[in-house]
Every structure is written in C-alpha cells, then in structure tokens.
Amino acid sequence: MDKIVKRYYQLKQQQKETEQELKELRDQIITFCGEKETSEFAAGPYRVKLISQSRKEYDDVKLYEALPDLELWRMLSKSDPGKIAGLVKLGVIKEERIQDSYALKQVTLLQVEKK
C-alpha cells in the first residue's frame, strides 16, 4: 500500500504542475491574440481559436430575495447556474424576476485543434 500511496502522491503533484503549466501557456496564447487583435490563428499544424462567453455569477442573498418562494429555493439550495438556467428554460422562474441577482462575467475559452 505504501507504493500505491506514494505513486498517488507523485501523480497528484505532477497534475498540479501540469495544470500550472497549462494555465501559463493559456495566458501566453491569450496575450498573443490580444496583441495581434485576433481570435483565431494557425501555428504549424494547429489551429487556435478563442471563444468569448458570458457567464452569470449569482449573489445568493440577492437571488434569495428575488425568489422568496421557499419551494423554489429548496430546489436550488444554493445558486447553481446550471439549475437556475434549467428552471428559467422550463418557465418555472422568469428571467426578469432574477435579473438583479447576478453579474455577467466574460470568460475566454481557448480551443486548440490539430489540422
């Protein structure tokens, strides 16, 4: 069991290092695109594309105030953007009712594909 735990620890450390390197490379690619004022380019056999998305970040207090119905709040239990979007899509919650309970956050997704 010692070998298994040791290997697990090593892999978790490697994972952390890999994730940090990925973050740094992602930041460099996004900076490059910003400098070149482009959202798409080719690099050798790879195609790079930046995709901009808006995500809603809910404020639990404001959301609770917008949804005083305890049954609705129990369905959510906490602000889960996926659940909230599903309830809005189903018509259980009207978008207008919760429009002041979130802030929009711009997120840039990086997509690298091999040609």
pLDDT in tens, 7-66: 999 999 999 999 999 999 999 999 999 999 999 999 999 999 999 888 888 887 887 777
Our measurement of the distance from residue 75's CA atom to the centroid of its chain's CA atoms, rounded to an integer in Å, reads 22
Short-list 29, 26, 54, CA closest to 39: 29
Per-residue pLDDT at 36: 93
Per-residue pLDDT at 95: 85
Per-residue pLDDT at 111: 79
On the question of pLDDT at 74 being above 70, the answer is no
Rounded Cα gap, residues 62 and 103, in angstroms: 11
CB 43 within 8 Å of CB 52: no
Per-residue pLDDT at 84: 82
Rounded Cα gap, residues 78 and 55, in angstroms: 17
Q: Which amino acid is at 18?
A: T
Residue 73's pLDDT band (cuts 50, 70, 90): low
CB 28 within 8 Å of CB 22: no
